[in-house]
Structure 1
């Protein structure tokens, strides 16, 4: 029996039919050469034979009126309630039809009476492809953990034909997490009080930083919550119905910009998103006078620490003041992110986690009371970055060509963007409510903004004649 952290519990408290709290991933695979057209259907039938389900895929949530919720393992799992097959029709089997199908699968809440995960095999895609869509409740795992589990279940070569469904793999991290939780429960009262003291000290330091920022004695140490412009299509009351779009650029091109400008991948990616969002908002008749504010998850795990559940904080970051120069935008964002990194490194992780819960509760209360259309949002959108495998992975000889993360929507945000690097490509996954207009146009602008940044950097570094 495993207790949940406060952050994990918060995902259940915040969940509703309009705003489910699961995360997912879309894997697009190429059938092996000379394989049958029924490859995906055969794979689905093979998956159903792996009836031994390992933790945490055999756990259900148990709520109590007198104690914190807990995970409880069950004796058997009916795979027919968790593994599904879909066949796209010929002529309706392109990328947009796939995205529409996955958007529909991503909308419903997971049934809390069962383990909170699903795997969908989608056959019949054009050009000899099929897809796997996986969804799992955010209280069970964060994006980094899900990617690790997926990598554990796939092969590193096309010749490795052994099937290892992610629910059948014994994830050692889950066992270590159980031990850590048990150790935590046996800590002395003095140890608990010491932890509380460190948390309070960190919260005090973070509050002081926010106060200095609010009276303009510091700049970009951390952006204040609830000051983002709420008069944009990006924010408001989250409603049911989802749409999904993607963009991608070659990592070699990203690394070239990083090398020329001494920037990081985050700097470059956020510069592209900032430019794309400003262009998109201009199309929608919105002229922002202040920087776009994003909510940005930060990994609070110590180096080498692994485990189930969530160990993240979410802070607000101002991007660049409006500018038509992509190179200036890159410099502004780099300055902002470096200051934010310094702030995070100076504050205890528990304090960041507490700050995340406090701001999340305020935003969630506004959404539960139907006030998200009238109150300032925590930020304009949420952007996260998940590093993935550098080499191609395979399932029964089929190469996984693309992996797109599909996240959940935070309170007050109609758009969530996740970055994912895999096999030489940087993917941008955009999930939004149906109410957000022209999502595909925004995804196209991301790629165009990267090309503009690339040209701007090349022009700035041309040798003088």
Structure 2
């Protein structure tokens, strides 16, 4: 049975290019059972390939007309040699080697004539563990829906017998409330009117801010700071991963009356400044983040994409980590207030509007000439609080690796699993060859922010910010 595609989902297909594929991925590190045979990974790989009967959307390819996607259409035969592959590394505990290998897998786009997903099993010669790199096209869902989808292939107990991978797991039909056609039309028209009204109000408020009439609103698009990592997105990726104890994040969040996202944003901001300063960059204004906002209602479990991505200004001019955090909290909550005051669809259309301009700049190859929407994109996906098993292999960590937004920058995605923030970092490799130092800076920045609560003498020192005298007076 064919499946319709929403307009937002279609955008991920239309704007995709070889230089900027629109798939998202996860790098999962797993532990081989203690009593497993020496060929455990090889047998698991063959077992995975044997599940050749897939369910929606894993059995569907995109039917398109003149490159415009129309619907997802089921196919009769799944090419399991394409969808499930195995590779070998010397040692998957060598993070640098694992990151480099995964970056090569991540830079290539999915075959458009096949269902839009792949599983890559990565074994090592020491047979101490293995990894799985999973990628799926962004048009199949956003972070929340994809996490929910893939968790169906895991269990809370080791299960060596009744294991079924996610692409072969049956999806129970969702119960839909029945409404009369008249009511559906009426609600649709009313929702459209409210959406357009709120969208016009958003654009009007931004216009007032642009002319400095009302500064108490979210940032004007394309106000980001140009850096060596922003500009035209090109083929080639660098990847790094990081683990931060999420219990520490939550404890610090309560002490500082900040959200976990705001705590981590502050660490990412400081770390990114340090990393770019290593390459000789200096800053005359704040960096910006692209902040995804989940537009689903509480309890809503719809598939597909239902998010808005809006810019948020980060910190500038303060060396005290705590004071930088307070700046970020204030800037973040200005945007959240604007989102709450508008219809969710209005923010979704606003995202489409500014992303369309950004995509146009990328298609015209002029992204190097305009300011980016943001310097880093940070998203957070809550995961299970306890240990999971993939068949009988323990899942040690799961690092999300996202796509690149037009205009470049660094994409940071957080997956909270088993009281740990598993953080995946990706950007283009045009000007850098590795991201591991950035991951170290993130960890050190978080440690410093945590310590600054009790030690007011701590400072981020010189992170390349050039503060003018009038800026000092304003602060």
TM-score range, shorter chain: over 0.9
User: 1:374, 1:126 → 2: CA distance?
Assistant: 48
The corresponding residue for 2:454 is 458
The corresponding residue for 1:107 is 107
SS in 2 for 1:274: helix
* Residues 139, 304 of structure 2: 8 Å contact kept: yes
* Residues 322, 452 of structure 2: 8 Å contact kept: yes
The corresponding residue for 1:27 is 28
Q: Structure 1 residue 75 and structure 2 residue 71: aligned?
A: no
The corresponding residue for 1:123 is 123
Deviations along 1:64-83, one digit per CA (max 9) or x if unpaired, are 35986211122332222211
Q: Structure 1 residue 271 and structure 2 residue 266: aligned?
A: yes
User: 2:50, 2:281 → 1: CA distance?
Assistant: 53
Q: Structure 1 residue 380 and structure 2 residue 375: aligned?
A: yes
User: 2:276, 2:391 → 1: CA distance?
Assistant: 44
Deviations along 1:129-154, one digit per CA (max 9) or x if unpaired, are 10111100000111222211221110
Deviations along 1:250-295, one digit per CA (max 9) or x if unpaired, are 1121122112111110110001001101112222222212111111
SS in 1 for 2:73: strand
The corresponding residue for 2:365 is 370
Aligned equivalent of 1:203, options 193, 196, 199 = 199
The corresponding residue for 2:245 is 250
The corresponding residue for 2:235 is 240
The corresponding residue for 2:418 is 423
Alignment of 1:121-270 (within 5 A): 121-124=121-124, 128-158=128-158, 161-172=161-172, 175-176=173-174, 189-219=185-215, 221-230=217-226, 232-270=227-265
The corresponding residue for 1:297 is 292
User: 1:131, 1:32 → 2: CA distance?
Assistant: 14
Distance 1:127 1:233, change over 3 A: farther
Deviates more, 1:276-285 or 1:236-245: 276-285
The corresponding residue for 2:327 is 332
SS in 1 for 2:240: strand
Q: How many positions carry a matched residue from both structures?
A: 455
User: 1:374, 1:208 → 2: CA distance?
Assistant: 26
* Unmatched tracts of structure 2, length 5 or more: 458-475
* Residues 229, 380 of structure 1: 8 Å contact kept: yes
Q: 1:225, CA displacement in angstroms?
A: 0.8
Deviates more, 1:197-206 or 1:429-438: 429-438
* Residues 62, 69 of structure 2: 8 Å contact kept: no
* Residues 293, 309 of structure 2: 8 Å contact kept: yes
Q: Structure 1 residue 283 and structure 2 residue 278: aligned?
A: yes
User: 2:254, 2:416 → 1: CA distance?
Assistant: 17
* Residues 223, 293 of structure 1: 8 Å contact kept: no
Q: 1:183, CA displacement in angstroms?
A: 7.9
Distance 1:432 1:125, change over 3 A: farther
* Residues 59, 71 of structure 1: 8 Å contact kept: yes
Q: Structure 1 residue 410 and structure 2 residue 405: aligned?
A: yes
User: 1:249, 1:81 → 2: CA distance?
Assistant: 34
Q: Structure 1 residue 440 and structure 2 residue 436: aligned?
A: yes
TM-align CA RMSD? 2.3
User: 2:286, 2:371 → 1: CA distance?
Assistant: 15
User: 1:30, 1:108 → 2: CA distance?
Assistant: 27
* Residues 248, 426 of structure 1: 8 Å contact kept: yes
* Residues 52, 78 of structure 2: 8 Å contact kept: yes
TM-score norm. by structure 2 comes to: 0.90
Q: 1:411, CA displacement in angstroms?
A: 0.6
Distance 1:65 1:186, change over 3 A: farther
Aligned equivalent of 1:317, options 308, 312, 333 = 312
Distance 1:66 1:257, change over 3 A: closer
Deviations along 1:216-243, one digit per CA (max 9) or x if unpaired, are 344453111111122x112011111111
The corresponding residue for 1:51 is 52
* Residues 233, 407 of structure 2: 8 Å contact kept: yes
Deviates more, 1:133-142 or 1:276-285: 276-285
TM-score norm. by structure 1 comes to: 0.92
Deviations along 1:85-116, one digit per CA (max 9) or x if unpaired, are 112236x8622222111111111111111110
* Residues 63, 69 of structure 2: 8 Å contact kept: no
SS in 1 for 2:454: helix
Deviations along 1:17-64, one digit per CA (max 9) or x if unpaired, are 000000000110011112123211111111122222111111111113
* Residues 93, 126 of structure 1: 8 Å contact kept: no
* Residues 25, 136 of structure 2: 8 Å contact kept: yes
SS in 1 for 2:207: helix
* Residues 38, 127 of structure 2: 8 Å contact kept: no
User: 2:212, 2:266 → 1: CA distance?
Assistant: 24
Q: 1:455, CA displacement in angstroms?
A: 0.8
* Residues 93, 125 of structure 1: 8 Å contact kept: no
User: 1:295, 1:221 → 2: CA distance?
Assistant: 16
SS in 1 for 2:167: coil
The corresponding residue for 2:87 is 86
SS in 2 for 1:458: coil
Distance 1:186 1:143, change over 3 A: farther
